[in-house]
């Protein structure tokens, strides 16, 4: 069932988002991109601030952050319920953990894994309360 609401943003993207459940994967995508942005920042981190700003990795991080924000705003536009969309964005922590494990080969602490499991559980609960 597609319910096309009035909105210039929606017509701009030419996507008939019904404000349906797809807001969850869209928000997760935004969170994943934010995690990669943080990873780029970490790669670009230098001792001097000027060096950091000149670094290509930092620039890439900034671009990724902007992209992440645009997608997040799009999700929020499709489903304008902050208490639903914003906590799902906390999944950034999950993607950061995955990057640190598989790209940086770091071994996560038990406490950190426990935190991630709680975030997954919380987002799952929130998903069941989809605003209609």
Least distance in angstroms from the C-beta of 117 to other proteins: 7
H-state helical runs in 55-109? 56-78, 82-88, 92-102
Least distance in angstroms from the C-beta of 31 to other proteins: 12
- The tokens describing 111, both together, are 């406490």
Least distance in angstroms from the C-beta of 15 to other proteins: 15
Least distance in angstroms from the C-beta of 88 to other proteins: 9
With respect to other proteins, which residue has the nearer C-beta, 15 or 117? 117
With respect to other proteins, which residue has the nearer C-beta, 67 or 90? 90
Contacts of 24 (CB under 8 A, 6+ apart): 88, 127
- For other proteins, the binding residues (CB under 8 A) are 8-9, 72-73, 76-77, 80-84, 86-87, 90, 93, 109, 111-112, 114-119, 121-126, 128-129, 131
Contacts of 14 (CB under 8 A, 6+ apart): none
With respect to other proteins, which residue has the nearer C-beta, 36 or 78? 78
3 state DSSP class of 14: coil
- CA–CA distance, 97 with 103 (Å, rounded to integer): 10
């Amino acid at each position: 069932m597609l319910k096309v609401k009035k909105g210039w943003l929606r017509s701009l993207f030419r996507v008939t988002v019904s404000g349906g459940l797809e807001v969850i994967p869209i928000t997760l995508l935004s969170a994943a991109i934010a995690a990669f942005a943080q990873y780029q920042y970490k790669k670009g981190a230098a001792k001097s601030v000027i060096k950091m700003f000149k670094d290509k990795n930092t620039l890439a991080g900034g671009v990724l952050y902007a992209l992440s924000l645009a997608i997040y705003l799009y999700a929020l536009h499709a489903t304008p319920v902050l208490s639903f969309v914003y906590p799902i964005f906390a999944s950034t922590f999950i993607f950061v953990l995955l990057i640190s494990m598989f790209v940086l080969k770091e071994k996560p602490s038990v406490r950190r894994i426990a935190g991630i499991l709680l975030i997954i559980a919380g987002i799952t609960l929130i998903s069941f309360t989809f605003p209609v």
